[in-house]
Amino acid sequence: MAIPHAPDATQFAVATDSHRSLKDLRARRPGQPVCVVGYGGDQQGKEGVFQHFNVRLAVVKFPDQKTLGYDPQDLLLPCEIHEDGEAFFEIRHCTICNQIFPLTSEEFRAEQERDTCPECQP
């Protein structure tokens, strides 16, 4: 799904070994594509774009124009963002602790896909 944001997709972050959620990022730019996890409700598992911080919550805007606040650790980064701005999310459940985590682009393309979260990695 294409998420509307600034035309230069290169300014936004993708999942890396050390940065997998919005909480992990130092530079949080408005328009950063994110996927909501953890929080119950209608938007769980949906993609949106980070807008700004409101007290301690990250405000996310969804394609239907709804805006809601989330804990930044519940907002996962995409695996890839293509030049046209389309964000792709590859999210998995850890086989050990059942925690949800995003794959990095390298992990997604690896011959053997990662099946444990970074915290459970041996």
Specify the pTM.
Answer: 0.85
Per DSSP (E only), the strands in the chain are 33-36, 47-54, 57-61, 67-70, 75-76, 80-81, 87-88, 91-93, 100-102
Query: What pLDDT digit, counting tens, does each position of 75-99 carry?
Result: 999 999 998 889 999 999 999 999 9
How many domains, the chain?
1
24-71 per-position pLDDT tens digit: 998 899 999 999 996 657 888 899 999 999 888 999 999 999 999 999
CATH number of the domain to which 94 belongs: 2.30.30
Q: Domain range for residue 70?
A: 11-109
pLDDT at site 4: 45
Look at 69 and 2; give whichever has higher pLDDT: 69
Residue 114 lies in a domain: no
Token pair of 26 as six digits: 């130092």
Closest CA to 104 of 6, 10, 21: 21
Does the residue 75 lie in any domain?
yes
Q: Does 23 fall in a domain?
A: yes
Within-domain flag for 121: no
